[in-house]
Amino acid sequence: MSEVVLHLGALLHLRDDPETNPEAIEWTPDGALLVEDGCILFAGPAARAPKIDGAKRIRHDGIIAPGFIDAHIHFPQTDIIGAYGKSLLDWLSDYTFPLESKFSDPILAAGVAEAFLDEILRNGVTTALVFATSHVVSTDALFHAAQKRSMRLIGGKVLMDRGAPPELLDAPGGGIAESEDLIKRWHNKDRLLYAITPRFAVTSTDAQLEAAGKLAAARQDVYVHTHLAENTDECAFVQNAFPDCGDYLGVYEKFGLVRPRSVFAHAIYMPDNGFKRMAKAEACAAFCPSSNLFLGSGYFDLKAARAAGVHVAFGSDVGGGTSFSMLSTMAEGYKVCKGRDAPLNPFLAFYIATLGAARALKLDHQLGDFSAGKEADFIVLDPASTPIMARRAAACTSLHDLLFAMMVLGDDRAIKETWVNGKLAHARDGAAPRTIGNFAWTTLKI
Amino acid sequence: MSEVVLHLGALLHLRDDPETNPEAIEWTPDGALLVEDGCILFAGPAARAPKIDGAKRIRHDGIIAPGFIDAHIHFPQTDIIGAYGKSLLDWLSDYTFPLESKFSDPILAAGVAEAFLDEILRNGVTTALVFATSHVVSTDALFHAAQKRSMRLIGGKVLMDRGAPPELLDAPGGGIAESEDLIKRWHNKDRLLYAITPRFAVTSTDAQLEAAGKLAAARQDVYVHTHLAENTDECAFVQNAFPDCGDYLGVYEKFGLVRPRSVFAHAIYMPDNGFKRMAKAEACAAFCPSSNLFLGSGYFDLKAARAAGVHVAFGSDVGGGTSFSMLSTMAEGYKVCKGRDAPLNPFLAFYIATLGAARALKLDHQLGDFSAGKEADFIVLDPASTPIMARRAAACTSLHDLLFAMMVLGDDRAIKETWVNGKLAHARDGAAPRTIGNFAWTTLKI
């Protein structure tokens, strides 16, 4: 028998890009979200919600919004988040590779996968595009843990056949059979999806990139997930290693890896026509601001990417990124954009973290807003989750202000609840936060 | 009768600059801090603590460290922290000035002062150098609230006689008599200290700067607190307004405002010899990284300032800064330094936030470390205050790692308790955080 639940509270979702469509923002202070077996039946004013016999009613004291999507994160790096002092290439050799070597152990991998998914859910992230390690067992561990939580999650085994310690390397040109096997076992199993995951051009031979490209051509329904132009040293390295490719993006183009469902993390140092080429191929970019600031990589050019027609999602890029929180990631994104003299509007930031990311990943028929028929992954946001946020919220005069304050000041505590596939997957623990009087955010105008 | 308390726990303080003195770091896992009536009698291994009859014993599950010092913050801006989209000069006209106009109301000012001090104490800040508004009543409100909490706090009425709305302006060349009266009433009253506080060169006439300089010369025991070279537009403005001064620092030099106990917030766009001139005058700099990133102002050059011999402290610069947390400020400082390709060592960051700041403010005979005779302002840090911090802490192999993880991942929750003048001033509320097993940080080597 099906279960129907009527979730009551303030409703916020974006049905379109708020910079091109002023009607995109849907804000319903007295709203209802009707969910049947993990599927959205209705979202809108509570007064207009269909009456369904036997529907359970839950009143939420907060803002019901679509779950966040994190389009670039490394689950094995959970425990080296915020490690000291390195830039990209040293980071990999000094921290990442020694750690990832341990993920041949299925018990260890399973433990970290569980903790990782708990942490992203604590931060309101309901879908993520995730690097495992080069080990099949670590990829299995991730998918098992995500399956248990009914999550729509995209993951993949790393492909590396050079430039890393031997125990992490595939056979030369290899790793493809394992990837195919993982696709067979996990792609479209429940809500799981697979990504062919070459780490980056530096750690794959031509033979491996070519084989990965062939697999990507044969399986257009599968993702490609890799890194692109994050750091100047890395770019110089690639230029040397692939002198015939023109530029870094050209390496991936040469091997057929730039196509729909290809996700390129970072894309900071791009040639003039780079974003145009990505847009034409329907490839997308993951903007990873906390990582870019923490590793000192540089500033992603959000405006240029969007102007060229590239779909952009956020990536926390943990462990190079310093927070699992998508709110903190937006705040860091604001700083990066400010560094390019173009402040990031909070509605655009929320769009990028929800429907924008779903569009980038071609999952917008299932995720990203509360259209009827979409999957019921949502969060309950608490705009007064710390004393200072409560004061700041009380001083807000518009929804724009309130969202911006939440992204700048919010952290895991701002996520009161996370619902996955219609079921409660995380509820904030600890005492209720202190709030102050006369906090009337539900009446705010956009 | 005097009260003696023996605080037991892991003890961490820096007795000197860790970059020049490798013996500076004092880490005592099984430590004791003996406090009598707000004064430190002993700090060191618990086994060597003097036995005092009737001493109360308190065991702390955390790291006992000196309270943090925030050398640049605006209390009236508490409620506009994280406001959207502006750079410095627009920030002032659009957000700051309209808000500060309300602080002629003593009731409003008192309410914000109370909330402000509660919030800094929640974040482990026990001493701050604070801008009030141009109103005497707002300055009184701040001092009253700090006096009630027995804090060592430095504050001052803003001096402005141009470039702001009329209701915020002193009479031309004025504000000095009010400052003198405030000095008389508050400077060295209990633990309070006064700062002559011209907002910045842009908002004071020559006459006001000259009068402020005369007062600063007459009262060498009082502070000077202002802004310097934060933003390129501001610098251009100053260059135009004071064409005979050579550069921005030269304006303050001309009027006798660059001297010991002068604190210049930001100091980003400095002439080649600027830091040398500041060092020679024994003036110091407040490094405000979260504000610099949030307002897109630019990157302070910590290495150059220190190399020139300038004492540097951190400033949160709330409301332009985005966090009251000194840990978050250190993390943002790391990013700014990384942007200049010089990662900020966590021991140096902790030094700057404690003894380094005390030296900059010439309060190191009273604050900054646990030397016998100093004032008992201290905090209890919890390195496992969130699930992800607990995991990260468990993976740390040195105190260096642990401190770095705390500054990158920590927030107000990492401050378990704040003690001021020997008394408990803040205890974290809410449920105890979840920790994981085998977390043996007290045995870490430096």
CATH of the domain at B188: 3.20.20.140
Which range, of A35-39, A389-393, B344-348, B361-365, averages the lowest pLDDT?
Answer: A389-393
Hunting for tokens 């692939």 — which residue is that? A242
Number of domains in chain B: 2
* Three-state secondary structure call for residue A383: coil
Residue whose C-alpha is closest to residue A187's, from A154, A217, A225: A154
Mean pLDDT of the residues in chain A: 95
| Confidence at residue B429, expressed as pLDDT on a 0 to 100 scale | 73
Residue whose C-alpha is closest to residue A388's, from B337, B56, B73: B73
Q: How confident is the model at residue A431 (pLDDT cuts 50, 70, 90)?
A: very low
Which residues 62-81 of chain B have a CB within 8 Å of chain A? 78-81
Assigned domain for B405 exists: no
Q: How confident is the model at residue A278 (pLDDT cuts 50, 70, 90)?
A: very high
Rounded CA separation B308/A251 (Å): 46
Query: Are B153 and B75 part of one and the same domain?
Result: yes
| Confidence at residue B436, expressed as pLDDT on a 0 to 100 scale | 42
The residues, any chain, with a CB within 8 Å of residue B166's CB and separated by 6 or more, are none
Query: Are A176 and A310 part of one and the same domain?
Result: yes
Query: What is the pLDDT averaged over residues B193-217?
Result: 97
The answer to whether the CB atoms of B387 and A85 lie below 8 A apart is no
The answer to whether the CB atoms of A335 and B296 lie below 8 A apart is yes
| Confidence at residue B441, expressed as pLDDT on a 0 to 100 scale | 62
User: Is the separation of the CB atoms in A282 and A258 below 8 Å?
Assistant: no
Query: What is the pLDDT averaged over residues B111-126?
Result: 98
Question: Range of A417's domain?
Answer: 4-67+368-443
Q: Which of B388, B391, B401 best probes binding to A when mutated, by most A CB atoms within 10 angstroms?
A: B388
Q: What is the pLDDT of residues B150-172, one digit of tens each?
A: 999 999 999 999 999 999 999 99
Which range, of B6-15, B74-83, B180-189, averages the lowest pLDDT?
Answer: B74-83
Query: What is the pLDDT averaged over residues B348-372?
Result: 98
Query: Are B52 and B90 part of one and the same domain?
Result: no
Query: Are A372 and A224 part of one and the same domain?
Result: no
Assigned domain for B404 exists: no
Taking the CA of residue A384 and the nearest CA in chain B, the distance in Å comes to 13
Query: What is the pLDDT averaged over residues B33-44?
Result: 97
Q: Is A64 left (phi over 0), alpha (psi -120 to 50) or beta?
A: beta
**Three-state secondary structure of A312-375:** EEECCCCCCCCCCCHHHHHHHHHHHHHHCCCCCCHHHHHHHHCHHHHHHCCCCCCCCCCCCCCE
Assigned domain for B255 exists: yes
Tell me which chain B residue has its CA closest to the CA of residue A81.
B392
Q: What is the pLDDT of residues A321-351, one digit of tens each?
A: 999 999 999 999 999 999 898 899 999 999 9
Which residues 408-427 of chain A have a CB within 8 Å of chain B? 408-409, 411-412
Q: How confident is the model at residue A362 (pLDDT cuts 50, 70, 90)?
A: very high
Q: How confident is the model at residue A436 (pLDDT cuts 50, 70, 90)?
A: very low
Q: What is the pLDDT of residues B274-283, one digit of tens each?
A: 999 999 999 9
Query: What is the pLDDT averaged over residues A373-399?
Result: 94
Q: How confident is the model at residue B435 (pLDDT cuts 50, 70, 90)?
A: very low
Interchain contact B322–A (C-beta under 8 A): yes
- Reply yes or no on whether the pLDDT at A281 is more than 80: yes
Mean pLDDT of the residues in chain B: 95
Assigned domain for B400 exists: no
| Confidence at residue A242, expressed as pLDDT on a 0 to 100 scale | 95
The answer to whether the CB atoms of B122 and A387 lie below 8 A apart is yes
| Confidence at residue A432, expressed as pLDDT on a 0 to 100 scale | 44
Query: Are B353 and B391 part of one and the same domain?
Result: no
Interchain contact B400–A (C-beta under 8 A): yes
Neighbours of A271 (CB within 10 A): 14
Query: What pairs with residue B131 in β-bridges?
Result: B74, B156
Query: Are A58 and A206 part of one and the same domain?
Result: no
Tell me which chain A residue has its CA closest to the CA of residue B289.
A335
Residue whose C-alpha is closest to residue A387's, from B121, B381, B98: B121
Query: What is the pLDDT averaged over residues B378-393?
Result: 94
Query: What is the pLDDT averaged over residues A230-249?
Result: 95
pTM for the model = 0.96
Q: How confident is the model at residue B25 (pLDDT cuts 50, 70, 90)?
A: very high
Which residues 113-172 of chain B have a CB within 8 Å of chain A? 115, 118-119, 122
How much of chain B, in percent, has pLDDT values that exceed 70?
A: 97
How much of chain B, in percent, has pLDDT values that exceed 90?
A: 91
Query: Are B132 and B74 part of one and the same domain?
Result: yes
Query: Are A164 and A57 part of one and the same domain?
Result: no
| Confidence at residue A41, expressed as pLDDT on a 0 to 100 scale | 98
- Reply yes or no on whether the pLDDT at A430 is more than 70: no
Query: Are A179 and A302 part of one and the same domain?
Result: yes
- Reply yes or no on whether the pLDDT at B430 is more than 90: no
Query: Are A162 and A280 part of one and the same domain?
Result: yes
- The CATH number that applies at residue B439 is 2.30.40.10
Q: What is the pLDDT of residues A144-186, one digit of tens each?
A: 999 999 999 999 999 999 999 999 999 999 999 999 999 999 9
Residue whose C-alpha is closest to residue A81's, from A115, A129, A128, A109: A115
Assigned domain for B240 exists: yes
Give the containing element (helix H, strand E) for B45.
strand B39-45
Q: Which residue, of A325, A342, A360, is where some domain finishes?
A: A360
First vs last C-alpha separation in chain B: 40
Query: Are B142 and B231 part of one and the same domain?
Result: yes
Query: What is the pLDDT averaged over residues A368-379?
Result: 98
Hunting for tokens 């009479």 — which residue is that? B171
User: Is the separation of the CB atoms in B155 and B146 below 8 Å?
Assistant: yes
| Confidence at residue A433, expressed as pLDDT on a 0 to 100 scale | 45
- ipTM score here? 0.94
Query: Are A120 and A239 part of one and the same domain?
Result: yes
| Confidence at residue A440, expressed as pLDDT on a 0 to 100 scale | 65
